[in-house]
Structure 1
Amino acid sequence: MRESIRTTRLFNFLSAVLAFLLWGGWAYHINSASSPQSGVVAALTQGTASFLITLFMVHAVTFLFHRFQKPFVKVILPAVLVNSVTGFCLVSVHTLMGTPRVFATILPALTVAFSFCIFTACKLLKLFQQQGNTSYE
């Protein structure tokens, strides 16, 4: 099993920073109607979670990508598994932090996270195939 195919650190870091800004901003917007304090808490919770989860997702997708054989499974199954764990964690942390609109806060982020996982796995598959790995069994 070859695990030398990875995304770059710059790709990982920039993705995480953008996730913090985008989803932290979204969480503030969707929750600040309850109170400005709720918006700030939700923004910091979601922004921090999005930053960390994005870093986790890249590594988890890469790890799982190398565990499966068929191209379709190498792309789809890591996204499904990682998004499931991510969703559970986000619901839990937002519930603990008292976010007023948990599902409205996390649903757009989870949708984009799934797409991001697919994109990352497709990027890995392209690199995998460029290295001459055409045998999947």
Structure 2
Amino acid sequence: MAVAFVAMGSWAAFANLAHPMPRPLIAGLVQGTLSALITLFLKRMIEALSARLPGSAGYWVPPLVAIAASLSLLSSIHWLAGTPEILRTIIVPLSVTAVYATTYNLALRRAVRTGQ
């Protein structure tokens, strides 16, 4: 969680550096906090959905739900916080979410299929 806070919070501050302080700082704190919280719950959500969804739905629904939930949460909270560069701010964390959710879900499905 601390790594997510520092890495994604730093990215958000950098993405908003063209704007006067304290905007970059606020964006960084908001993104860092959101990334830490999302990290805490994302793994559990993917595990629960992957275990409950049979067939091909179990492959694509968990990552899609994770990405959609992250997109909704990140964009709405940054909008409420007044983040000037919302798209630039959320593109990296959202990309990380997409890659993580997809690869973790595939690993879960493969483990079930091979009986591990």
**Same fold per superposition (TM over 0.5):** yes
Aligned to 1:65: 50
Instruction: Tell me what 1:123 maps to.
Output: 107
Percent identity among equivalent residues? 28
C-alpha distance 128-87 of structure 1, shift in aligned 2 (>3 A):
same
Alignment counterpart, residue 55 of structure 1, candidates 40, 48, 61: 40
CA RMSD, aligned part only? 1.5
Show structure 1 runs of 5+ residues with no match: 1-15, 133-137
SS of 1:99's equivalent in the other structure is: coil
User: Which residue of 74, 82, 85 maps to 1:90?
Assistant: 74
TM-score by length of 1: 0.77
Choose which of 39, 51, 58 in structure 2 pairs with 1:74: 58
Hey, which of these two has a bigger chunk of helix by percent? 2
Paired residue for 1:30? 15
Structure 2: any 5+ residue segments left out of the alignment?
A: none
Separation (CA, whole Å) in 1 of partners of 2:49 and 2:38: 15
Matched, 1:21 2:6: yes
CA distance in 2, matches of 1:84, 1:95: 16
CA offset digits 1:68-124 (Å, max 9, x no partner) = 112x43232101012111111111100111101011100221111011101211221
How far apart are residue 67 of structure 1 and its match? 1.3
Aligned length: 116
TM-aligned CA deviation for residue 50 of structure 1: 0.6
CA distance in 2, matches of 1:73, 1:50: 26
Deviations 1:14-71 (A, max 9, x none): xx3322222111001011220231111000100110110111111110110011112x
User: Secondary structure of 1:66's match?
Assistant: helix
Secondary structure at the aligned position of 1:100 is classed as coil
CA distance in 2, matches of 1:65, 1:107: 25
Q: Runs (4+) of structure 1 moved beyond 3 Å?
A: none
